[in-house]
Structure 1
């Protein structure tokens, strides 16, 4: 018993002394804006900057990260909850030296965890947080009351929109919903599929102005991605566009976004706080 206690103490001390991964949820108001493609290529862009990155497909039952990379994993988050696999066991190696946990199919109540399942999930996530620099959660399209709880746990939220008015309104509605529950979580904006840099800047500025005017909500613009034909070609080839053609305009743009994020190049807009992901998990899932 003494040896076990000593080992536990050392593990806790090691975890305390290690820096915790930044947790990022990527979301959109509705589907069809390229959210998963952004999550995948953004993860690889961060990895190419020397960071250890885990991409977690949280679009349970509708996940498509494995389709985008053309590799079907034998394991998914379903195996963690239903087959008692550990999170470490279900991690697979992805392209660009990233790690991936797939969403799988058939599980609809991931966010409605009982205390036992929550405790196990929390304990294993805490180990992963010590082993990565970034953990990205590719959320399902839209927001539900249950998925909202999870999004409120992460350190930052990245919202994907396009210049289309309906997409901007969907993104606005999603952030309004988030802000009504938690006014402190940092929000980043990325505009996808822009035809000109002017379109991208104007779309983001319109959205930011509306958020400030009606909600008093400040957000950070990470950048925009051009409507590049390379993207559809890479999807057909089931290869991330940043690896399919690293010199393409969209690939350079995602690298710029990753650089801006990783370097905290936000000017005076935002100061990133220490991660409280595990504490938030306990608060929002157990009410403690």
Structure 2
């Protein structure tokens, strides 16, 4: 028994010494702002910088990551729960060797798992934290009571909006609600589909002013991505736009955004400490 206990302690110590993946969730207040397209291309851009990336499609039943890359995934997260496959079994290799787990269909209670399934998910996910640099969750549009619990577990939240007034208001509303649940959550803001740099800056300023005035909260500005025909052409051809035309304005803007993110080129007062994803999962889902 002493040997087993000592081995367990050593395993735990080894886990602590390893570099654990950073977990990010990409969210939006409404659909149609390019959230999934951003998630996919952001993941690929990170991989181009030498990072090991897992993209997890959490828009269960309505996910479209596999459509955006033109590859039908044989398995999805549904098969993990319904057929007992492992998380590794259900992964698909994507562009630049990113790993992808698709959402599939027929699963509506991912956030209301039995304790047995939850424990199995936790155990296997723990292994993935040691195999990747980033695990990126592409969430469904908007938020639900259950998905909020999940969002509280990740290290960082990337909020996608566009200059449209409804998109700005919805993005603010999502941040307002999440802030009311946990004021310490860090928001990273991306304005997508801007026609001009000025339009993007004005949109970011409106959101920042509202956060400061009503929530006394600052968001980290990651940057803006221009409206560009390359994106729609790439979607039509089911190719990520950063692969379709790496020299386009939108691809260059995304790579610059990822460079800033990798280098954490924010204001000096910003620090983004990593949380403990698995401990947070137990806290918010199991209450312990």
Q: Same fold per TM (> 0.5)?
A: yes
Query: Secondary structure of the equivalent of 1:87?
Result: coil
Q: Hey, what does 2:237 align to over in structure 1?
A: 237
Query: Secondary structure of the equivalent of 2:271?
Result: coil
- Counterparts of residues 1-288 of structure 1 (less than 5 Å): 8-288=8-288
CA distance in structure 2 between the partners assigned to 1:84 and 1:3 by the alignment: 31
Query: Secondary structure of the equivalent of 1:26?
Result: strand
Contact kept, 8 Å, 1:160 with 1:192, in 2: the verdict is yes
Question: Displacement, 1:279?
Answer: 1.1
Question: Displacement, 1:275?
Answer: 2.8
Computed over aligned residues only, the root mean square deviation of the Cα atoms, in angstroms, reads: 1.4
Deviates more, 1:92-101 or 1:33-42: 92-101
Question: Displacement, 1:218?
Answer: 1.0
CA distance in structure 1 between the partners assigned to 2:269 and 2:219 by the alignment: 8
Query: 1:269 and 1:41, CA in 2 relative to 1: closer, same or farther beyond 3 A?
Result: farther
Query: 1:237 and 1:83, CA in 2 relative to 1: closer, same or farther beyond 3 A?
Result: same
Question: Displacement, 1:91?
Answer: 1.2
Matched residue count:
288
Question: Displacement, 1:13?
Answer: 3.1
Question: Displacement, 1:36?
Answer: 0.1
Q: After the TM superposition, which parts of structure 1 deviate over 2 Å for at least 4 consecutive aligned residues?
A: 1-14
Query: Secondary structure of the equivalent of 1:41?
Result: helix
Runs (5+) with no aligned partner, structure 2 = none
Question: Displacement, 1:3?
Answer: 7.7
Query: Secondary structure of the equivalent of 2:223?
Result: strand
Question: Displacement, 1:7?
Answer: 5.8
Deviates more, 1:130-139 or 1:270-279: 270-279
CA distance in structure 1 between the partners assigned to 2:114 and 2:197 by the alignment: 47
Query: Secondary structure of the equivalent of 1:131?
Result: coil
TM-score, normalised by the number of residues in structure 1: 0.97
Runs (5+) with no aligned partner, structure 1 = none
Contact kept, 8 Å, 1:93 with 1:100, in 2: the verdict is yes
Question: Displacement, 1:23?
Answer: 0.2
TM-score, normalised by the number of residues in structure 2: 0.97
